[in-house]
Chain A
């Protein structure tokens, strides 16, 4: 901007003219327009993010700023059996939930992409699990999985398929499966709606051409729909992975990471250690461990977004 002033003729020194010139300059105007957004990003995203990463390298506790400890927290965590369990839990949780959500979401999208009566209503209803506040649906699942009052157990007992109680949240593997199921229920609409939008952009002429060439339903899907849907699928999957890995509410309300840490994810363990236990440095380090995975996911999605 300094250059503008130097090259400006004498009459431009009048303030109104100067502002006019700046506004007419494409580069200056661009910077000016982007600045508020950049400031918001810097204050509300970059700063907390940077602070979070920095805290991971300190031994800060609640009440004490702490000092730099290098990779101490990370080294400690790698040797910590609970943290290693959490890595396993999160991987399993995200992988199982995302794959199921993708398959079921795709199926649902294909179904509601057909013409039928009440299509709009069905599409609206489909969104419900996504719209309901997570904490509310988590509470519902908390009741569904109640060892004593579970509606599933009650039904099974009524029709004679089960006799005792089912230990949904008491057995580690069953607890993991229960939470994954709850996450799938909540996440299907995200895939379904995203993929439905993609399906509607596929031109019908392509299907007609395929039919003329003698393609059956499966071939139409595999050779027409799927290749066109793939970039969007990748993006939706990446977004969902990020959200699933960072899940907190479902876990915190239904099990708080129990039984015996079998359902702790990065987010819940970080909260437990940083806020409840007071070891902010270690909690930040736990969160920072997810970073490389998420950055990789973001890069993948960028790649596909560009291609699109």
Chain B
């Protein structure tokens, strides 16, 4: 084994790794409290739906070793905990695990290359449609997915939509969870605007929400929602906007484009009113912009994961104390219609150790490992299995609670169709974001924006 390999092997704690962990900040401190939560969490899983008597394990191939490609951490407590769990897996099974990290938008190109050449990581933790881009190149994981569902109270509805492939007739991905997106707001400014800053009383309807945004704006505290090519922030809020007015891009057949409807017009007209409350410049915002603007006090309200709060707790305690999170309001659709960055793990068929790979995923998704990991991430990733509603992290900080049910509230980005190469393409080309941006900024009329997006979607879905 090469020294570099040893450096990256999860089985050994090297001096450099130890130092890295130290440099990462208050990691150790956070983790020691996580251990306490873990014990509580395990004790408090609801007995009705949790079936601990169910057991499954995959016979690991002799001499197996695993290479795993996953997204790099959003919060500094993620990777150390994940690596700790991987080490534990190695100790139990004797399977060495090598972890590789990529910034989350770069996982797909890497996985694509691996799929194309038939060599690379055994397991990939990726996002959205990825498994559906190469379903026939993946090891079916139906047994594992069904086992996890039965044991942990069932998957939320969106999980099988992402994990199951109609083409193959099998589960091809194991849902990991979703970094949730919520409304981030400054409590004092919301109060100043005449609204109750408590998340429970936060506007529940789009009309009331607009009133809040206008009141904030007139008091010199604009809102800010990304309209540039922000893979996370722009996609999440633009899809919510579309869906919450009952509009959708495609019919359940994943062929017929259904964008050109009065509902879409309503969504965009509403968006235009909302746009008037936004800070100038949102049309060019990428993912980091709203974090910076919020932390600088330039905007009172934006949509984001828990990362702003996390950064604020470390560096801007006064903002952390004054901010809170709320779920997106609902429009005429009358139900939650949110989009979050859904992550799932998949195993390539070229792996020599499919059982070891499945055993690894099983181990990581089971209690107590999975709760420990989610707790360590302090709410950045929401769970896809119902039983984990009761994790310590969701009770430790009330400000994290709105993120708890992100997976329960979400729709797949391919809504109303099913995930696959076409919805992947529509998402990667920002068709919906561009339509919303065009209409809101006035570059195109609402009608023209819809027609342009419709033409684009038709080409994608009917190609």
Interface segment, A102-110, A116-124, A142-150, A181-189?
A142-150
User: What is the predominant secondary structure among interface residues of chain A facing chain B?
Assistant: loop
Which residues of chain B come closer than 8 Å to A168, judged between CB atoms? 281, 284
**Distance between Cα atoms of A148 and B296 in the complex (Å):** 9
**Which residues in B have their C-beta under 8 angstroms from that of A175?**
284
Restricting to A131-164, which residues have a CB under 8 Å from any CB of B? 145-149, 164
Rounded to whole Å, the gap between the CB of B337 and the closest CB of chain A is 24
Whether B429 and A148, one on each chain, are in contact in the complex, defined by CB atoms closer than 8 angstroms, is no
Is the pair A259, B279 in contact by a Cβ cutoff of 8 Å?
A: no
Contact B228 A170 (CB under 8 A): yes
Take A147-B285, A273-B429 as given contacts and tell me if A82 and B116 are in contact as well, using a CB distance cutoff of 8 Å: no
Q: Which residues of A contact B386 (CB under 8 A)?
A: none
Q: A76 touches which one: B285, B428, B459 (CB < 8 A)?
A: B459
Q: Cβ of A164: which chain B residues have Cβ within 8 Å of it?
A: 280
Name the contact of A170 in the complex, choosing from B284, B455, B456 (C-beta under 8 A): B284
Q: For B452, what are the chain A residues with a Cβ–Cβ distance below 8 Å?
A: 81
Contact B284 A278 (CB under 8 A): no
**List of A residues within 8 angstroms of B425 by Cβ:** 273, 277-279
A5 located at the interface, meaning its Cβ lies under 8 Å from any Cβ of chain B in the complex: no
Interface range on chain A: under 10, 10 to 19, 20 to 34, or 35 or more? 35 or more
Interface residue tally on B, bucketed by range: 35 or more
Stretch at the interface among A11-19, A91-99, A204-212, A250-258: A250-258
Q: Would you call B133 an interface residue if the criterion is a C-beta within 8 Å of the partner chain's C-beta atoms?
A: yes
Query: Would B116 and A63 count as touching, CB distance under 8 A?
Result: yes
Is the pair B282, A147 in contact by a Cβ cutoff of 8 Å? Answer: yes
Contacts across chains A and B counted by CB atoms under 8 Å: 121
Separation of A52 and B439 alpha carbons in the complex (Å): 37
What is the CA–CA distance of A63 and B463 in the complex, to the nearest angstrom? 17
In angstroms, Cα B286 to Cα A126, docked, is 32
- Tell me, rounded to whole Å, the shortest Cβ–Cβ distance linking A69 to chain B: 11
Residues of chain A with a CB closer than 8 A to B282's CB: 147, 170
Given contacts A260-B438, A277-B424, A278-B133, contact A272 B429 (CB under 8 A): yes
Docked-complex contact B284 and A167, CB < 8 angstroms: yes
Any chain B CB within 8 A of the CB of A246? no
Quick check: is B441 within 8 A (CB to CB) of the other chain?
Answer: yes
In the assembled complex, B276 has its CB within 8 A of some CB on chain A: no
| Whole-angstrom distance between the Cβ of B369 and the nearest chain A Cβ | 31
A residues near B285, Cβ cutoff 8 Å: 147, 170
Shortest distance in angstroms between A265's beta carbon and chain B's nearest beta carbon? 14
Contact partner of A148 among B283, B298, B463, CB < 8 A? B298
State the CA gap A261–B455 with chains docked (Å): 15
A198 touches B (CB below 8 Å): no
For the complex, is B227 an interface residue (Cβ under 8 Å from A)? yes
* Chain B residue, CB-CB nearest to A271: B109
Asked if residues A260 and B281 are in contact (CB atoms below 8 Å), the reply is: no
The verdict on A275 contacting B280 (CB below 8 Å), with A81-B452, A259-B228, A260-B434 known, is no
Residues of A within 8 A of B115 (CB): 62-63
Q: Which residues 415-463 in B have Cβ within 8 Å of A in the complex?
A: 421, 424-425, 428-430, 434, 437-438, 441, 443, 452, 455-456, 459, 463
Interface presence of A130 (CB below 8 A): no
| Bound Cα distance A3, B429 (Å) | 60
A25 on the interface (CB 8 Å rule)? no
* A61 to B137 CA separation, bound complex (whole angstroms): 13
Residues in A with CB closer than 8 Å to B280 are: 147, 164-167, 170
Rounded to whole angstroms, the CA-CA distance of A67 and B105 in the bound complex is 29
Q: Which residues of chain B come closer than 8 Å to A145, judged between CB atoms?
A: 284
Query: Of residues 262 to 285 in B, which have CB atoms within 8 Å of A's CB atoms?
Result: 279-285
Known contacts A62-B112, A148-B281, A164-B280: A172-B137 contact under CB 8 Å? no
- Asked if B74 CB lies within 8 Å of chain A CBs, one says no
| A147 lies within 8 A of B289 (CB) | yes
Contacts of B109 in A (CB 8 A): 275-276
A147 proximity list for chain B (CB < 8 A): 279-282, 284-285, 289
How far does the alpha carbon of A145 sit from the alpha carbon of B280 in the complex, in Å? 13
> Is residue B293 within 8 Å, beta carbon to beta carbon, of the partner chain?
yes
Chain B nearest CB: distance from A202 CB in Å? Answer: 45
Complex CA distance for A276 and B424, rounded to whole angstroms: 8
Is B343 among interface residues, defined by CB-CB distance under 8 A? no
Chain B positions within 8 Å of A171 at CB level: 283-284
- Known A-B contacts A147-B280, A276-B108; the reply to A259 vs B437 at CB < 8 A is yes
Please pick, from B134, B227, B289, the residue contacting A63 in the complex, using a CB distance under 8 A. B134
Q: Is A286 an interface residue (CB 8 A)?
A: no
Tell me the bound Cα distance from A226 to B136 in angstroms: 63
- Inter-chain CA distance A164–B279, complex, in Å, is 10
B91: interface (CB < 8 Å):
no
Closest to B455 in A: A81
CA distance A127 to B281 in the complex (A): 33
What are the residues of chain A within 8 A of B134 when measuring CB–CB?
62-63
Cβ of B395 under 8 Å from chain A = no
Asked if A169 is at the interface (CB within 8 A of a chain B CB), the reply is: yes
Q: Specify which chain B residues have a CB less than 8 angstroms from the CB of A146 in the assembled complex.
A: 281, 289, 292
Complex partner residue of A167 from B136, B281, B430, B437, CB under 8 angstroms: B281
The answer to whether residues A256 and B284 also contact, given A63-B133, A172-B443, A279-B425 and a CB cut-off of 8 A, is no
**At the interface, yes or no: B358 with Cβ under 8 Å from chain A?**
no
Cα A219 to Cα B281 with chains together (Å) = 48
B405 vs chain A, min Cβ distance (A): 29
Is B229 positioned at the interface, with any CB of A under 8 Å from its CB?
A: yes
B22 to chain A, nearest CB (A): 27
A256 to B228, CA, bound (A): 8
Name the residue among A81, A273, A275 with the largest chain B CB count within 10 angstroms.
A275
Knowing A255-B228, A275-B112, the reply to whether A165 touches B438 (Cβ < 8 A) is no
| Cβ–Cβ contact B229 & A256, under 8 A | yes
Cα–Cα distance between A256 and B134 once the two chains are bound (Å) = 26
- What are 8 of the A-B contact pairs (CB < 8 Å)? A62-B115, A146-B292, A147-B282, A165-B280, A257-B229, A258-B283, A260-B283, A273-B429
Closest 3 CB pairs of A and B: A147-B281, A169-B284, A170-B283
20 additional A-B residue pairs with CB within 8 Å, beyond A81-B456, A169-B228, A275-B109: A62-B115, A81-B455, A82-B429, A146-B281, A147-B279, A147-B281, A147-B282, A147-B289, A149-B292, A169-B284, A170-B281, A170-B283, A170-B284, A171-B284, A256-B228, A258-B283, A259-B227, A259-B441, A275-B108, A278-B421
- A: residues with CB less than 8 A from B are 61-63, 76, 80-82, 145-149, 164-172, 175, 255-261, 272-273, 275-279
Residues of B within 8 A of A (CB): 105, 108-109, 112, 115-116, 133-134, 136-137, 227-229, 279-286, 289, 292-293, 296, 298, 421, 424-425, 428-430, 434, 437-438, 441, 443, 452, 455-456, 459, 463
